[in-house]
Amino acid sequence: MSASDITKPVDLTSHAEGTGPLRSRQPVYVDFMPPCNSACPAGENIQAWMAFAQAGNYQEAFQKILEDNPFPAIMGRVCVKPCETGCNRNHIDDTVNIHAVERFIGDEAIRQKWPVRFKAKPTGKRILIVGSGPSGLSAAYHLARMGHTVEIFEADCQPGGLLWKGVPEYRLPKELLNAEIERILQMGVTIRLNYKVTDLLAEKENGNFDAVYLGIGAQLIQDENIPYDSSVLIKDAFGFFNDVATSNTAAYMQKKVVVYGGGKLALYLSRILKRFGCEVSVFFPGDKKMMPAYDYETEDALAEGVDIQLLRGLSMVKDRQVVLENMKVEKGKSIGTGTFENTEADVLIIANKQESDADFLRNIEAIKVNADGTVVIDAQRMTGFTGIFAGGDMLPGENRSSTIAIGHGKKAARYINSFLESSTYIKPDKHPTAGYRKLHMWYKTDAPQKEQEKQAPEVAIQNFEEVISGLSEAEARFEAQRCLSCGNCFECDGCFGACPEDAIIKLGKGNRYKFNLDACTGCGVCYEQCPCHAIEMIPEPVNPVSNV
């Protein structure tokens, strides 16, 4: 019985006991949604692959991750970890270090060259994907798993989008990024580099594509429209990243740099500049609540010596001075106070308000393009033009991340596949989430998190090596074993050993248990002994039937 079939649980404090028809309630085995799974934007079945890792079966864990996410080594490094925020273990000691275990599995897969295990009959359908960032690559990967032929057109000289251009080596080494992209290419996906699409409909027709997915990302910075002179070198974030990619960095070395923005992009490049020997200040017009970057990203930048100041709005640049207006927040918006302060600078890098370069879509009347380059899609993730879909940073919203983009690519692949089959994809119902209050742990849970080692900040800024180290095999396995298996039976035998009527039947390893309802009195001891809330008590049916 699934969790979605369960009615409101019966009050355990008031019931009439008795066997069979005399029961007022009966136990059922259920599968609830673990909070980590529920929180994952990529839709990973975290609990399932974590169970393989617990047993040391990392190759099977890898294949389970690949069902939803083609980039475990990447996401184990750059994901913003909402799964860990939701982890029920936070109520005991500290979250399971999910991303670190995923990183270990991804790295092991690269080291041992594990291929993607899948079978797909060729469909003869062709899909064009515009953009090879995390969203486009994810869509390509999942469509290839379905048997479709996929071609990606990429305007840059390297695949990866912002994973390549916007994430520094100290966070994501390029060889790991390349290895996980190469895995997708080995599945038959092709990428055409240095090719910018200017006429989408012509490309669709000339290439005989049956569908198109737009995943071009947000690689433009909105113009701040401030007065400025030539006394300060002014760059936007992506101009800076292009200079870094081409080793054109002399203009930044040992300079005094002002960075304007409050997202992870601003903090990434500020930490790169520290490694160039720069004095770096980051200014953001909002307060801490409005700052897009996560707290740990801000803390890492501060630890490395980046000066971060809030409630400072960019006003003008003149005579080697960056003029900033003091701001205040009213009704959730940042507004100027009319007072100003100056800071001297050699370089100003603007990293605020990303947008997409979607001008090539504006001549397609059926596609609604917003001012920031995002597009409008329907419930099937399709734009107004039949057969053209979109996701990732192409969709409105300030909450941008690689994990969200990967999830968008996977979802779009499902809708595209249904479109190609002339059907409608219907999302399956989600089971209720397993909350901590209904976990009844009768065993010892004292197991401190295996934290990852970090370079000391004064050492980190001297190089571009990874700041955060991975876990060893023993540490990764231990960390996986800290998982509580919330909402799903892991065959601990707690119910089997606790039942006073011997009403629980073991079905063999991997097959869980069932209830002998002819013997069950409905006492609820099994429910109270289940540590992961995989048993629920429901009202006794009008005509109970034995399941033996």
Tell me the pLDDT tens digit for each residue of 16-46.
444 455 788 999 999 999 999 999 999 999 9
SS3 184: helix
Task: Examine the pLDDT at 8 and tell me if it is beyond 60.
Answer: no
SS3 151: strand
Task: Compute the average pLDDT of residues 60-68.
Answer: 98
The domain made up of 126-219+356-420 is a member of CATH 3.40.630.30: no
Task: Examine the pLDDT at 14 and tell me if it is beyond 90.
Answer: no
How far is Cα 446 from Cα 478, in angstroms, rounded to an integer? 12
SS3 171: coil
E-assigned strands of 246-386? 256-260, 279-284, 307-310, 312-318, 321-330, 333-344, 347-350, 354-355
Sheet harboring 333-344: ordered strands across? Answer: 312-318, 321-330, 333-344
The CATH 1.10.1060.10 portion of the chain extends over: 39-116+455-480
Tell me the pLDDT tens digit for each residue of 399-435.
678 999 999 999 999 999 999 999 999 888 888 999 9
Tell me the pLDDT tens digit for each residue of 248-285.
999 999 999 999 999 999 999 999 999 999 999 999 99
Work out the pLDDT band at 481, boundaries 50, 70, 90. very high
The CATH 3.50.50.60 portion of the chain extends over: 126-219+356-420, 222-352
In this structure, which topology does domain 222-352 adopt according to CATH? FAD/NAD(P)-binding domain (3.50.50)
- The CATH H-level (homologous superfamily) assignment of domain 39-116+455-480 is Alpha-helical ferredoxin (1.10.1060.10)
Q: Which of 391, 394, 389, 392 is nearest to 373 (CA)?
A: 394
Task: Examine the pLDDT at 3 and tell me if it is beyond 60.
Answer: no
DSSP 394: G
Task: Examine the pLDDT at 5 and tell me if it is beyond 80.
Answer: no
Task: Let me know: does 468 contact 460? Beta carbons within 8 Å.
Answer: no
Taking 3-state DSSP, the helix, strand and coil percentages for the chain, each rounded to the nearest 5, stand at: 30, 20, 50
How far is Cα 301 from Cα 274, in angstroms, rounded to an integer? 9
In this structure, which topology does domain 3-31+489-539 adopt according to CATH? Alpha-Beta Plaits (3.30.70)
3-class SS string, 234-270? EEEHHHHHHHHHCCCCCCCCCCEEEEECCCHHHHHHH
The CATH 3.30.70.20 portion of the chain extends over: 3-31+489-539
